[in-house]
Chain A
Amino acid sequence: MTASRNKYVSVNSDSSAKNYTEIAKIMSDDGDKMNHATARNIIIRGFSKIVTGVGKDYGKIVTKEKAEIIAKSPDFQNALITILKGNRNDS
């Protein structure tokens, strides 16, 4: 996964990663009907929750708008997934 110059997160280099359309299809097939935009919104919402929670743990109040901006940031998403995957590999 890399952050491109245009600041979009690309997951093409990771074969097991899916694009929004593929995610929407899988979720729809599993009975949770959605389109690609919904899949994207769900990810941003999920990351926003993590941002708010982490901020709270460090004693910072992160507004909803600010959390959403951070959640959308490819750098943040890259860092988060790298940290989590790194942790799994170390264990």
Chain B
Amino acid sequence: MNSLNYNSFRDEISHNPLLTREQEVDLSRRAKKGDRQARQKLIASNYRLAISIASKYSKRGVNFDDLLQESSIGLIKAIDRFNPELGNKLSTYACWWIKQACMQFINENISTVKVPTHSRLLNSKIKQTVTDIQRRFGYTPTTSELSEILSVTEDAIEHSNQANSRYLSINGSSNSDDDNSYSLENKIDSLELTPQEVFENKELVGIIKRNLNLLSPREEKVIRLRFGIEESFFDNENFPGVQ
């Protein structure tokens, strides 16, 4: 849905007047009995609530149209489960279902790696608490302090922080402003040994091999048994190129 469509859609639903308490109860009762028109009317009249809540979550890096669809599903769920006999307003009940639908959609789509909703919610609480303490007292709380404040274990806090940390793409640039920046993949490649290091390693192995000859047969056997090395391991042919 582009912005033009969205605006015309919004104009269209604005023609659906808000329901009075009596109308809401009456339509809900009829919808419960299977009246599809009553259900449709309830959805149309409360759709602006879904738009309002979805727009609050729109800056979370997800597509707004998709978010709107999800919030509508939340609204429909709420209408289907609403019990008018309890005396609450539909909007009071529906807003939690709409929020839940939005949060779940964001959680499932904001990153490639799926993090459980409870962990994401805990992380959000942790961040909020840290910001609050920093603002009020000027220091960053430790994990144990956070554990005490939020009444969760230190492990849960650490797991949540770990699970909600930012991800790096292996092909992503290390610095977007720098043309000479190189990707994580290149960095990993650069960890491979240079020809000089390979040569030095071979030389070191050669030196070690020469010194293995200093071991008595008894020492050699005990070392072999200790580290699970085969008997032929200390033979010269296992070290090609070593004199």
A contact set with B: CB distance below 8 Å:
1, 11, 14-18, 20, 22-23, 26-27, 32, 39, 42-43, 45-47, 49-50, 53-54, 57-58, 80-81, 83-85, 87-88, 91
Known: A27-B225, A43-B219, A54-B208. 18 other contacts (CB 8 A): A1-B227, A11-B227, A11-B228, A14-B228, A17-B226, A18-B225, A20-B226, A43-B226, A45-B219, A46-B219, A46-B222, A46-B223, A53-B207, A58-B207, A80-B208, A83-B201, A84-B208, A88-B238
* Residues of B contacting A: mostly: helix
Q: A14-B227, A14-B228, A17-B226 are in contact. Are A53 and B221 (CB under 8 A)?
A: no
19 intermolecular pairs with C-beta atoms under 8 Å apart: A11-B228, A14-B227, A16-B228, A18-B225, A18-B226, A18-B228, A23-B225, A39-B226, A42-B219, A46-B216, A46-B222, A49-B211, A50-B212, A54-B208, A81-B227, A83-B208, A84-B208, A87-B238, A88-B233
Q: Which A residues lie within 8 Å of B219 (CB)?
A: 42-43, 45-46, 49
Considering only residues 210-243 of chain B, those with a C-beta below 8 Å from chain A are 210-212, 214-216, 218-223, 225-229, 233, 238-240
Tell which of A15, A32, A49, A50 touches B228, judged by Cβ atoms closer than 8 Å. Answer: A15
Residue of B nearest to A42 (CB): B222
Q: Quick check: is B133 within 8 A (CB to CB) of the other chain?
A: no
Tell which of A17, A50, A53, A87 touches B227, judged by Cβ atoms closer than 8 Å. Answer: A17
Instruction: Report the bound CA distance from A57 to B210 in whole Å.
Output: 10
Q: Which A residues lie within 8 Å of B215 (CB)?
A: 46, 49-50
A39→B238 contact, CB < 8 A = no
Instruction: Report the bound CA distance from A25 to B214 in whole Å.
Output: 25
A50→B205 contact, CB < 8 A = no
Q: Which A residues lie within 8 Å of B229 (CB)?
A: 81, 84-85
Q: Quick check: is B204 within 8 A (CB to CB) of the other chain?
A: yes
Most chain B beta-carbon contacts within 10 A, residue among A15, A39, A87: A87
Residue of B nearest to A39 (CB): B222
- Min C-beta distance of A62 to chain B, whole Å: 12
Instruction: Report the bound CA distance from A44 to B8 in whole Å.
Output: 84
Tell which of A11, A15, A43 touches B222, judged by Cβ atoms closer than 8 Å. Answer: A43
